[in-house]
Structure formats: C-alpha cells, structure tokens
Amino acid sequence: MKQNIKAIIFDVDGVLLKNVDDEGKFLWSKDLKKDLKIGSNQCKIIFSNIWKEVTKGKLDTIKHLDEVFKHSFFKNINILPKEFVDYWLSKDIFIIEEMLNLVKSLSHKCYIGSNQDLYRGRYIKKLIGKYFEKCFISAEMGYNKPNPKFYSYIEKELNLKPNQILFVDDNDENIESAKNKGWHTYLYKEDFKEFKQYLQRFNILIN
C-alpha cells in the first residue's frame, strides 16, 4: 500500500516511554511515599484537571506546585516544588527500547508530539530528543492534544499536508482528532509486532 507519508509523529507516554504500571500508577512514583512522604491521593491533587493548564504552558509547573503544596493534604510534607520536579524526572527513565530502536531504523523523518509541561518536555528532549527531527511539546506550543490547533501547528511547522503525516498515539481521543484533521493514524496498544507490520503495509522502509 503506497502512501505519500513524509513525517511520523510519535506520542511519548505509552509509545516511547512506559509511564504507568498495570494498575495505572506512575512508575516513577513507586518509592514516592517512602522518599518524600507523598502518597497516591496527593499525587491526584498535583495532577488534577488544572494540570492541563500546565501542559498548555498557561501555568508554570513550579508555581502550580507551590500553590498545591499549600493544601492541607500537604501540611506534613517539607519539600520545595523544584525538589519534587527533580525527584520526578530523576526516576522517569523507562524508555521502550524496541520502539526507540525502530525509530532509529526508519528512513522517514520522525518527530515527537506530546502533551508535557515545560520541565518534563525539556527532560524528554535530553533523554531521547536526539533521535528525532524535532520535539513538539504542548507547553511550548500553547495547545494540548486533542485540540485541533495542536495538529494544525505541526502541519504549519513542517509545511506538510494532513495526508502526508502519520500519527502514533495510545489515546483514542487524540487519534480521533488527528483523523478528523486528515492525518494517517495508528492507535498503539503495546502491539509492537502489529505496528511494524502496519509500517510495512505503508511501504515505510527500514534502513
């Protein structure tokens, strides 16, 4: 199946990095209670709905944490926002090696397109950014997936038509929004073998 794919956009969490366990808990937070006295309920407050504003770049991560840590649920915790971020990123190292190796082998240009705050976005660039042409981070763009403006921003930056882009994500809503824009899409559900077969059907060659 011949397609005029010029760029492949990869999501990060669940595609390039494994971020949660089988129970949906953040892998990096495994020892969070023991190390920083922050439990799962407090994590839910940190990453509540307002976190979307953080990942759109409308609210700084440190300022958000500074306000959150004033909550009564955190009264017995003696930690600065920057210390929390440093701890989080120091533990957030679960690269999905088989997918990253595949990216390295592709002859097509590959990009990252991910909902991230500025701090983790910078961390991701340092961790795996060198294997991609560019990293599109929501906090730098001002738009989150599945907002259609997220996809339009990338089209404009790459100077490509919608049908020249393949988008790989593990979130149904993000995939549906990309489809509505006219992008080719693949809903990734840890089905690496099937994903490789999909790329072969699209005649996306591997060096």
Taking phi first (over 0 means left), then psi (-120 to 50 degrees means alpha), and beta for anything else, what does residue 185 get? beta
From the centroid of its chain, how far is CA 27? Answer: 15
- The answer to whether residues 20 and 26 touch, using CB atoms and an 8 Å cutoff, is yes
∠ CA 101-156-100 to the nearest 5 degrees?
A: 5
- In this structure, is residue 1 part of a structural domain? no
- DSSP H helical segments within the chain, as ranges? 32-36, 40-46, 51-55, 61-68, 81-91, 97-105, 118-128, 138-141, 148-158, 172-181, 192-201
Based on the fold, state whether residues 78 and 173 are members of the same structural domain. Answer: no
Residue range 7-65, pLDDT digits in tens: 999 999 999 999 999 888 899 999 999 999 999 899 999 999 999 999 999 999 999 99
% of the chain surpassing 90 pLDDT:
87
Based on the fold, state whether residues 103 and 72 are members of the same structural domain. Answer: no
- Per DSSP bridges, beta strands 165-169 and 109-114 are unpaired
- In this structure, is residue 110 part of a structural domain? yes
The four Cα atoms 141, 145, 147, 148 give a dihedral, to 10 degrees, of 80
**Two structure tokens written together for 163:** 């049908």
Of 66, 91, 116, the last residue of a domain is 91
Based on the fold, state whether residues 12 and 57 are members of the same structural domain. Answer: no
Of 48, 69, 91, the last residue of a domain is 91
* pLDDT at res. 202: 82
- In this structure, is residue 207 part of a structural domain? no
Of 44, 68, 91, the last residue of a domain is 91
Domain range for 47:
27-91
Task: Using a cut of 0.85, tell me whether the model's pTM lies above it.
Answer: yes
- In this structure, is residue 108 part of a structural domain? yes
pLDDT-derived band at 207, boundaries 50, 70, 90:
very low
* pLDDT at res. 154: 98
Cβ contacts of 125 within 8 Å, gap of 6 or more: 135, 137
* pLDDT at res. 81: 96
- In this structure, is residue 2 part of a structural domain? no
Based on the fold, state whether residues 56 and 158 are members of the same structural domain. Answer: no
Taking phi first (over 0 means left), then psi (-120 to 50 degrees means alpha), and beta for anything else, what does residue 2 get? beta
